[in-house]
Amino acid sequence: MSYRSIREECLAANLALPKTGLVDLTFGNVSVADPKRRVFTIKPSGVDYDKLTADDMVVLDFDGNIIEGTLRPSSDTPTHRHLYLHFPGIRSVVHTHSRAAVAFAQAGCDLPCLGTTHCDYFNGAVPVTRGMTPEEVAGDYEWETGKVIVERFAGMVPLDIPAVLVRNHGPFAWGPSAAKAVETAQALEIVADMAIRTLSINPNAIPAPAHLLNKHFTRKHGPKAYYGQA
């Protein structure tokens, strides 16, 4: 059984990360899933982006078993796997330590929806998780990270707000394809930077009103979307 297509998609997305400015050193990873076959592929741990090949991408099943690959997968692999198991409809997960988004994660603050750029990608504030307990950190840390993300999204639609800020850590974003997930991670960093600048000018800036948020989100997403080409 060939996993070449998702390996190549995963490689392209990982190579795109440095070009977006979202990563420093090797602080980032992308995974791509084939939900029907219940497998996903992910960047190997700590390998420089300019040295990656499609064959380096590690293929695992949804139970966490390595199917193909000789390198050790990203240390964040259990977090990615947990999201695939609990967020139907996503095919790719991106994790970075992009600076503006990390600032909100370190501050323990939701990223507020202050304007239409944010509304175009996220149907409301991007949430921050609760802090992790000593037991969660000392245990299966990366798996527990996935659990606190899923816990935070209780009652929410992951594809309506396709990103999260893990407190004291950083952002995870996701989407229906690797290219879209990387785009969302980039959009997250852009609106986080905009929010920091806005709040530095006016700390009491109020979120975009619901009618404006709804208009901008639904013109790009859902059955009534009309932005772009058919």
Where in the sequence numbering do the catalytic residues fall? 120, 227
> DSSP character for 206?
P
Q: Rounded to whole angstroms, how far apart are CA atoms 120 and 115?
A: 9
Q: Rounded to whole angstroms, how far apart are CA atoms 230 and 228?
A: 7
Three-class DSSP category at 80? helix
Q: Rounded to whole angstroms, how far apart are CA atoms 123 and 100?
A: 19
Nearest to 1 by CA among 41, 31, 30: 41
Alpha-carbon distance values, 57 to 75, 92, 191, 196, 214 (Å): 13, 14, 30, 35, 39
Q: Rounded to whole angstroms, how far apart are CA atoms 120 and 201?
A: 23
What residue ranges in the chain does DSSP mark as E strands? 28-34, 39-42, 58-61, 66-68, 92-96, 163-166, 170-175
Quote helix, strand, coil % in the chain, to nearest 5.
40, 15, 40
